[in-house]
């Protein structure tokens, strides 16, 4: 069984803990067979980055916004289970 580690690095000054923890729960629910650990990492200065096994898959600085949960799940899926169909969230 593959092992995948996800990290959500968020800005605590910006009070982004709640959205980081929400996304964490969404990912741990959708990918509960694929994820071995999900790490929440408080940071500063407006940071919001998501990594899968150290690969950066979302950076607020680069994208200029937060991910929609559907696109975040697609990017995680592409790393941890490329063949996995995300069901309804893929077809809307």
Q: Give residues in contact with a second copy (CB under 8 A).
A: 7, 12, 17-18, 21, 24-25, 28-29, 32, 35-42
Q: How near is the Cβ of 29 to a second copy at its closest, in Å?
A: 7
Q: Considering the complex, state which of residue 17 and residue 86 has its C-beta at the smaller distance from a second copy.
A: 17
CB of 91 to a second copy, least distance (A): 25
Closest by Cα among 91, 9, 15, 92 to 47: 9
Residues 41 and 1: their CA atoms lie apart, in Å, by: 26
Residue with tokens 């559907």: 70
Pick the closer one to a second copy by CB: 15 or 88. Answer: 15
73 token code pair: 């799940």
CB nearer a second copy, residue 43 or residue 59: 43
What length is written for the chain?
92
């Amino acid at each position: 069984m593959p092992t995948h580690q996800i990290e959500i690095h968020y800005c605590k000054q910006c009070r982004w803990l709640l959205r980081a923890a929400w996304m964490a729960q969404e990912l741990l629910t959708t990918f509960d067979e694929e994820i071995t650990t999900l790490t929440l990492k408080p940071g500063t200065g407006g940071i919001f980055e998501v990594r899968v096994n150290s690969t950066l898959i979302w950076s607020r600085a680069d994208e200029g916004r937060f991910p929609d949960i559907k696109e975040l799940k697609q990017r995680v899926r592409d790393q941890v289970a490329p063949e996995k169909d995300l069901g309804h969230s893929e077809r809307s």
